[in-house]
Chain A
Amino acid sequence: MKPAAFDYAAPTRLADAIDLLVAHADAEPRVLAGGQSLVPLMNFRLAQPGFLVDLQHVDGLSDIRLTDDELVIGAMVRQSTAEESADAAAGAPLLVEALGHVAHPPIRNSGTIGGSIAHADPSAELPAVALALDATMTAAGPGGERRIPAAEFFRGPFETALGPDEILTEVRLPRRPGGHAFVEHARTHGGFAVVAVAVDLAVDDAGTVTRAAIALSGVGPTPIRATATEQALVGTVPDAESIRSAVAATVAVLSPAGDVHGSSETKVDMARSYLRRGIELALDRAASRR
Chain B
Amino acid sequence: MTTVDRPTPPVRTHKAERTWVGKSIRRVEDPRFLRGRGGYIADLVLPGMLHAAVLRSPHPHARIVSIDTSRAEAAPGVHAVVTGAQAAELTDPLPDFGPNPAAHTWRCLAVDKVRYVGEGVAVVVADDRYLAEDALELIDVEYEPLPPVVDPLAALADDAPLVHEPLGSNCAYDRTFEFGDVAGDFERADVVVTDQLRWHRSGGQPLETVGAVAEHDPATGGFRVHTNSLSFTSYLFMVATALKIPANRLDIVPMPAGGSFGSKLFVTKPLVIAAMCARLTGRPVRYLEDRVDNMANCDHHGSDRHYDVRMALTRDGKITAIDIDTVDDYGAYIQFGVGHHGNALAQVVGPYTIGSVRYRVRAVLTNKNQQGAYRGFGSEVNNWMLEQMVDKAARELGMDPVEIRRRNFIRSFPHFIPTGNVYDSGDYDAVLDKTLELGRYEHWREVQEQARAEGRYIGIGLITAQERSVFSATEFWFWFDEPGAPVTSMPESVTLKVDATGAITATLYSCAFWGNSPETMVAQLVAEEFDCDPHDVSVVYQSSKNGLPATGPGGSRTTVMLAGAVEGASAKIKEKARRAAAHLLEADPDDLEWRDGGFEVRGVPEKRKTLSEIAIMLHLFKHSFDEDVESGLEESKVFDHPYTTMPSADRKDLGVFYPFMGHACHLPVVEVDVETGVVTFLDYAAVHDCGTLVNPRSLAGHIQGGTAQGIGTALYEEFVYGPDGQLQTTSYLDYPIPTSLEVPELKIGHVETPSPWTPHGIKGGGEGGRMMAPAAINAAVNDALAPLGVRITELPLTPDRIRAALRAAGHGS
Stretch with Cβ within 8 A of B (4 or more), from A79-87, A186-194, A211-219? A186-194
Q: Which of B760-813 contact A (CB under 8 A)?
A: 798-800, 803-804, 807, 813
Partner of A260, one of B720, B742, B803, B804: B720
Interface string of B717-741 (1 = CB under 8 A from A): 0001000000011010110111101
**Which chain A residue shows the least CB distance to B728?**
A260
Q: How far is the CA of A176 from the CA of B160 in the complex (A)?
A: 62
Known contacts: A44-B292, A272-B813. The answer to whether A261 contacts B800 by CB under 8 A is yes
Q: Please report whether the interface of chain A is mostly helix, strand, loop or mixed according to DSSP.
A: loop
With the chains together, A273 CA to B729 CA distance in Å?
26
Closest A residue to B735 using CB positions: A260
Q: Does B58 contact A (CB under 8 A)?
A: no
Are A188 and B736 in contact, CB atoms less than 8 angstroms apart? yes
Q: With A and B bound together, what is the CA distance between A191 and B729 in angstroms? A: 14
**B137 contacts partner chain A, Cβ-Cβ < 8 Å:** yes
Which residue on chain B has the smallest CB distance to residue A263? B800
Interface size bracket, A side: 20 to 34
Q: In the complex, what's the smallest C-beta–C-beta distance from A261 to chain B, in angstroms?
A: 7
Contacts of A189 in B (CB 8 A): 739, 741-742
Q: A188 vs B741: C-alpha distance in the bound complex, in angstroms?
A: 8
Q: Taking the complex as formed, is B705 at the interface, i.e. its CB lies under 8 A from any CB of chain A?
A: no
* Known A189-B741, A191-B733, A269-B676: A262·B800 in contact at CB below 8 Å: yes
Q: Is B572 an interface residue (CB 8 A)?
A: no
Measured between C-beta atoms, what is the minimum distance from B726 to chain A in Å?
A: 11
- What total count of A-B pairs have CB within 8 Å? 75
Interface contact B291-A1, CB-CB below 8 Å: yes
| In contact, B133 and A45 (Cβ under 8 angstroms) | yes
**Does B596 lie at the interface of the complex (its beta carbon under 8 Å from any beta carbon of A)?**
no
Chain A residues whose C-beta falls within 8 Å of the C-beta of B291 in the assembled complex: 1
B803 and A188: CB pair below 8 A? no
Once the chains are docked, how many angstroms separate the CA of A259 from the CA of B798? Answer: 13
Q: How far is the CA of A187 from the CA of B715 in the complex (A)?
A: 9
Report yes or no: A188 in contact with B807, Cβ–Cβ below 8 A: no
Q: Does B547 contact A (CB under 8 A)?
A: no
Closest to B132 in A: A2
Which residue on B lies nearest to A267, using beta carbons?
A: B800
For residue A16, CB closer than 8 A to chain B, the reply is no
B621 within 8 A of A: no
Q: How far is A266 from B804 in the complex, measured between Cα atoms in Å?
A: 7
| With known contacts A44-B731, A189-B741, A260-B729, A269–B675 Cβ distance under 8 A | yes
Report B-chain residues with C-beta under 8 Å of the C-beta of A44: 292, 731
| Interchain CA distance A238-B233 in the complex, whole Å | 71
User: Which residues of chain B are within 8 angstroms of A263 by Cβ–Cβ distance?
Assistant: 800, 804
For residue B742, which residue of chain A has the nearest CB? A188
Given contacts A1-B292, A188-B716, A190-B739, contact A269 B734 (CB under 8 A): no
Within 8 A of B (CB), among A1-54: 1-5, 44-45
Q: Are A4 and B134 closer than 8 Å at their CB atoms?
A: yes
Asked if A63 is at the interface (CB within 8 A of a chain B CB), the reply is: no
Any B CB within 8 A of the CB of A185: yes
A188–B737 CB distance below 8 A: yes
Report if B573 contacts A (CB, 8 A): no
Inter-chain contacts of B733 with A (CB < 8 A) = 191-192
A265 beta carbon closer than 8 Å to chain B: yes
Given A2-B129, A185-B676, A188-B739 in contact, is the A269-B803 Cβ separation under 8 Å?
Answer: yes
Chain A residues, Cβ within 8 Å of B292: 1, 44
B803–A265 CB distance below 8 A: yes
Inter-chain contact B736/A266, CB cutoff 8 Å = no
Judge whether A2 and B736 touch: CB under 8 Å: no
How far is A258 from B803 in the complex, measured between Cα atoms in Å?
14
Closest beta carbon of chain B to A245's beta carbon, Å: 12
Interface residues of B (CB under 8 A from A): 129-130, 133-134, 137, 290-292, 673, 675-678, 716, 720, 728-729, 731, 733-734, 736-739, 741-742, 798-800, 803-804, 807, 813
Q: A44-B292, A188-B738 are in contact. List 19 more A-B contacts (CB 8 A).
A: A1-B290, A1-B291, A1-B292, A2-B129, A4-B137, A185-B676, A185-B678, A187-B736, A188-B716, A188-B742, A192-B733, A194-B799, A261-B800, A262-B803, A265-B803, A265-B804, A269-B675, A272-B675, A274-B676
24 A-B pairs with C-beta separation under 8 A: A1-B133, A1-B292, A2-B130, A4-B133, A4-B137, A5-B134, A44-B292, A45-B133, A185-B799, A187-B716, A188-B739, A189-B739, A190-B739, A191-B733, A191-B736, A259-B728, A260-B729, A261-B734, A262-B799, A262-B803, A263-B804, A269-B813, A273-B675, A274-B676
Residues of chain A whose beta carbon lies under 8 Å from any beta carbon of chain B: 1-5, 44-45, 185, 187-192, 194, 259-263, 265-266, 269-270, 272-274
